[in-house]
Amino acid sequence: MNQHERIHWLRAELEKHNHLYYIEDKPEISDYEFDQLMQELIDMEEKNPSLADVNSPSVRVGGGVTKNFETIVHEHRMYSLSNSYSFEDLQDWENRIEKIIDAKPTYVCELKYDGASISLTYINGELKQAVTRGDGIQGDDVTNNIRTIKTVPLKLKGDNYPQKFHIRGEIILPYEGFAAINEERIQNGEEPYANPRNTASGTLKLQDSAAVAKRPLECFLYAIAGDNLGIETQFDNLEKAREWGFKVPEESKLCKSLNEVKAYVDYWNEHRHHLPYETDGVVVKVNQISHQEELGYTAKSPRWAMAYKFKAEQASTKLEAITYQVGRTGAITPVANLSPVQLAGTTVKRASLHNADQIAKLDIRVDDMVFVEKGGEIIPKIVGVDFTQRTIFSEPTQYITNCPECGTALERKEGEAQHYCPNTATCPPQVAGRIQHFISRKAMDIEGLGGETVQQLVKAELITNYADLYELKVEDLLPLERMAEKSATNLVEGVAKSVEVPFERVLFALGIRYVGETVAKKLAKAFKNIDNIIAATFEELVATDEIGDKIAESIHLFFAEETNIELVNRLKSYGLQFSLSEEELANATDLLEGKTFVISGVFQKVSRDELKKFIETNGGKNTSSISKKTNYLVAGENMGPSKLTKAESLGVKIISEDEFLAMID
């Protein structure tokens, strides 16, 4: 078997095992064996770039970066659904249907998954494009990110599929995966996400597909759209999709009457809490495609489908106390402490009250009987007060005026909903929160040090800021609870090793408000070292790519604090990286300053990632989609015809790999 044959065999084998594992739940090989095959494929593809395939199983590990998501018009509009909240609503709907089609319809019932809607386009059995729902008429091209999702087939099974079709589905994040993500965020000192739905939706718009690949998203498919598909019923739609390799939940059911629909709705209204993912209702569809075509659409919705929404589960319980939490940035969050109550399958003891305005709006008071719902089935929230049970001795809630942790008078800036504790220097939760951010995986990533240990160190007064970490000794740590000599040694060594972390991550680790990973990279590239950033004027900061007024003001305020300058100077003395490496500086030029590039196709001399790095190193800007602002399209082999057509129509200069390399020679 030559290399070409081996690559094709590996791709087919990996796709087979991926389907067995994620779709059929019938794995035939171990995770280790799968990983070995995947690594072999990645290595062989790197050595044979001419054999690149955008739908190779290797793309599931991610790595492509999308700076701007191109807006795509849907060939077949993605309509929203009309909602019903009672069986009477469904009966009225059926009456309207029967008048139009002059027949008794059958139905398909499907659970309404609570996630992010997506439209996938397949041509000749291969995934070509993935577009978010957007406003239903157009959405964002998130193809690179969707390719990382294991339950989205890159190539279809069999050969009886249409030459071109669109399939619609929902990108969801199962509860287990959501909990794991939040656990990691909490350990890293980051705010946990509110619910799986918003997290799934936000993940689709992450710029780095490698970050998307690390999140356990799934895709449930429920509808096929296209021309002359030859499919007669919605139930056949689902069966065909399963045959082609899509994940279609088994909970879908063909119902011959509205009474069967009601039985389905009643069953899942009770049993939905046992599912591993969020669902907020049932979608009822007329089964016969010919009937669907006859019924047509209103301006917003198909007349042949109706969403039956489950009523949000609500419980009444006593508000025993209101406490206040202090976040890393000093933001104060009021929390309702409740008498334990069962709600949506879990015991609820606490609920967020958001801010002072929310408390005043609902007139929430201690000892009130309050109504609690689960927003998005995850976060409990108080939606009202049972005023009939309020006593005459009840007193309005007085929002705290001082920090519950350090006693400092709280501040509330004009236009902001939350109060803040301004004592950033010594307020314990803020101190611990900043250190936890500093050591987090995407910042300094210090091995052997986690959030719980940080709390111990702060409580024991061994550290009061992140610079103190670099003065810790093994003997300082040994008196701490559950701290053996080996773990203490690992922690100290992990701190020492972190001095190798590159400048942009150190900058992110400092915890400047609004300076996330991407902004830190932009600043590092633009200013080369920390001293230039500190000395930069407001105008110079705003002139930097993707740096707005709010970020620039935050940077200025941070370095205006003498304590922060002292921290930076201490970190410098410990050897942390506060400038770009000599290699990065040596290769940096302004040859491409002000030029915007789009890279498309397969290249022979250098990889796509190398081309992107050359562009950035020489002062240029990479984008994924062609627009009037694009200066050059670097065209490789097998480039998509749509990009070429768009470049030509906009007058964008098209250059080859050799021509680009000559530009920076």
Which range is least confidently modeled, 221-225, 543-547, 652-656? 543-547
Give the rounded percent of residues in the chain with a pLDDT score beyond 70: 94
Q: What is the DSSP string of 71-129?
A: EEE-SS------EE-SHHHHHHHHHHHHHHH-S---EEEEEEE-SEEEEEEEETTEEEE
Q: Among residues 545, 525, 530, which one has the least CA distance to residue 613?
A: 525
Which CATH architecture is the domain 428-500 placed in?
Orthogonal Bundle (1.10)
Q: Among residues 618, 533, 527, which one has the least CA distance to residue 580?
A: 527
CATH fourth-level superfamily of 589-663:
BRCT domain (3.40.50.10190)
How many angstroms separate the CA atoms of 363 and 383, rounded? 11
Per-residue pLDDT tens digits for 76-105: 888 888 888 888 989 999 999 888 777 789
What pLDDT, on the 0 to 100 scale, is given for residue 466?
94
Q: Is residue 628's pLDDT more than 50?
A: yes
**Residues in Cβ contact with 308 at an 8 Å cutoff, skipping those fewer than 6 apart:** 83, 84, 85, 89, 90, 112, 265, 281, 282, 283, 284
Q: What are the beta bridge partners of residue 351?
A: 336
User: Do the bridges between strand 305-309 and strand 83-84 make them parallel or antiparallel, or are there none, so unpaired?
Assistant: parallel
> Average of pLDDT values for 264-270?
91
Give the rounded percent of residues in the chain with a pLDDT score beyond 90: 38
3-state DSSP assignment of residue 315: strand
Q: How confident is the model at residue 375 (pLDDT cuts 50, 70, 90)?
A: low
Per-residue pLDDT tens digits for 34-78: 778 878 888 888 888 888 787 777 776 665 656 678 888 888 888
- What average pLDDT does the structure give for the chain? 86
How many angstroms separate the CA atoms of 522 and 546, rounded? 8
Q: Is residue 313's pLDDT more than 80?
A: no
Per-residue pLDDT tens digits for 108-158: 999 998 889 999 999 999 999 999 988 788 888 999 899 999 999 999 988
> Average of pLDDT values for 222-230?
86
Catalytic residue among 112, 240, 285, 374: 112
User: Do the bridges between strand 116-123 and strand 279-286 make them parallel or antiparallel, or are there none, so unpaired?
Assistant: unpaired
Q: Is residue 376's pLDDT more than 50?
A: no
Q: Which two tokens stand for residue 198?
A: 């918003």
Q: Are the folds of 3-61 and 589-663 the same?
A: no
> Average of pLDDT values for 449-476?
90
Q: How confident is the model at residue 224 (pLDDT cuts 50, 70, 90)?
A: very high
What pLDDT, on the 0 to 100 scale, is given for residue 67?
65
Q: Which CATH number describes the domain made up of 314-389? A: 2.40.50.140
pTM assigned to the model: 0.50
Q: Is residue 572's pLDDT more than 90?
A: yes
Q: Where are the domains of the chain?
A: 3-61, 73-309, 314-389, 428-500, 503-585, 589-663
CATH of 3-61 given 1.20.120.450, 3.40.50.720, 1.10.287.610, 3.40.50.150: 1.10.287.610
Q: Which two tokens stand for residue 139?
A: 């959405």
User: Do the bridges between strand 218-225 and strand 71-73 make them parallel or antiparallel, or are there none, so unpaired?
Assistant: unpaired
Amino acid at 372: V
CA distances to 301, 338, 419, 421, 618 from 333, in Å: 39, 16, 8, 11, 45
Per-residue pLDDT tens digits for 645-662: 888 889 999 999 999 999
φ, ψ (nearest 5 deg) of residue 288: -75, 125
Burial of 479 from C-beta contacts in 10 A (0-12 / 13-18 / 19+): exposed
Q: How confident is the model at residue 332 (pLDDT cuts 50, 70, 90)?
A: very high
- The yes-or-no answer on residue 646 being catalytic is no
Task: Choose between 405 and 374: higher pLDDT.
Answer: 405
How many angstroms separate the CA atoms of 261 and 272, rounded? 16
Rounded to 5, what percent of the chain is helix, strand, coil?
40, 20, 40
How many angstroms separate the CA atoms of 547 and 90, rounded? 51
CATH fourth-level superfamily of 503-585:
5' to 3' exonuclease, C-terminal subdomain (1.10.150.20)
What pLDDT, on the 0 to 100 scale, is given for residue 39?
82
What pLDDT, on the 0 to 100 scale, is given for residue 377?
44
CA gyration radius, the chain: 28
Amino acid at 600: S
Q: Which CATH number describes the domain made up of 73-309? A: 3.30.470.30
